[in-house]
Amino acid sequence: MWLYVACLIGLYYLFRWYRERQVVSNLRDKYVFITGCDSGFGNLLAKQLDLRGLRVLAACLTEKGAEQLRRETSDRVETVILDVTKTESITAAAQWVKERVGNKDVCTELMTKENLMKTMNINLFGVIEVTMSMLQMVKRARGRIVNVSSIMGRVAFCSVAYCCSKHGVEAFSDCLRLDVQPFGVKVCVVEPGYFKTNLTNVQKLQECSENSWNKGPVEVKESYGQEFFEKLLIRNKNSLQKCSTNLHLVTDCMEHALTSHYPRYRYSAGWDAQFFFIPLSYLPTVLSDYVWSANNPKPAHAV
C-alpha cells in the first residue's frame, strides 16, 4: 500500500514539474512592469528578465538608481521615477506605462501611528494603488500580477507595522485573484523568508531601534527596561546576520510566476520559509507562540 502512495506522490510532483516547465510563448513581445528597482529584489529581477528577452519597465525611486540600472542592462529596459506613497507619481507612472505598451501584455508586480502609516503606505497602500491604476491594462492583456509579500504575511512575531502590511498584501492578492480570474488574469504572491538586502542592514536596524527607544514614552521604557532593549537588539542583529544572500531564490520565483504557463498562486522563497516558517504557521497557536517567545528577553516588569 505504501508503495502505491509513494508512486502517487512521485507522479504528482513529476506532473507538477512538467507543467511548471512550460513557458509562456513570445516572451520577447511581453512587457513587465516592476516597482522598487533601485536595489534588492526589484533590481535583480529587472536584470534577470532582461536576460530572458522581456521588455522591462522599471520603476525606481531615485534618478541615481534608474541611471545605474540603465547602465547595467540592455535597451529593452526602460525606467521611470515612482514614489508609491504619492498618488500623482503613481498616476504619472501609469500614464508612462500606457504610452509604451498600448494594448500589449503587461505583468505587474507589493509602535507609533506615524511609523505604522509610513510602512503601510509603502508596503500595502502603494501596492494596491499601483496595481489598481494599471488593472484595466492587465485585464485587456490577460496578463499577470505578481505581488511580493513576505513569510511575515503568513506568520507574525515581530515588527507590527511590517507584519500588518504583509498580511494586507496577502489578503489583497487573494481577493484580487478571485475578482480577475474571469478575465484570464493570474495573480501570484511571492513570500520570501529572511534575505539580506539594503533594507536588512544591521546598522540601519540599530539606528532605527535606538531612535524608537529614545523617543518612546518614559513609562513604556521603564516597564521593559534598558536590559530588555539591549538583548532584543542583539537578538535581531544575530537574526539579520543569518539572512540568505542568494537573492536569486526570490527572483527565480518571480520569473517563474511571470513566464510559466502554469504559475503557482503562492511561492515560498528560501529554505527557512519552506521548512521552518510555513510548517510553523500550521501549528496550534499555543505551540507557535511558545516557539516565537522562547528566546525573547523578559521585560523588567514582566509577571
Contact, 194 vs 242, CB < 8 A? yes
Catalytic, out of 4, 18, 162, 262:
162
- Crossing angle for the helix pair 40-51 and 248-259, to the nearest 10 degrees: 50
One-character DSSP codes across 100-154: HHTTS-EEE----HHHHHHHHIIIIIHHHHHHHHHHHHHHHHT-EEEEE--GGGT
194 closest CA partner among 135, 257, 247, 156: 247
The backbone region for 270, taken as left when phi is positive above 0, alpha when psi lies in -120 to 50, beta otherwise, is: left
Q: Which residues contact 250 (CB under 8 A, 6 or more apart)?
A: 41, 44, 148, 190, 192, 195, 269, 270
* Pairing assessment for the beta strands 266-269 and 106-108 based on DSSP bridges: unpaired
- A 10 A CB-CB count for 186 gives 21
Catalytic annotation on 194? no
Cell of 105: 501584455
Among residues 28, 26, 30, the alpha carbon closest in space to that of 100 is found at 30
User: Do 54 and 30 contact (CB within 8 A), yes or no?
Assistant: yes
Phi then psi for residue 148, to 5 deg, are -100, 110
Active site (catalytic) residues: 162
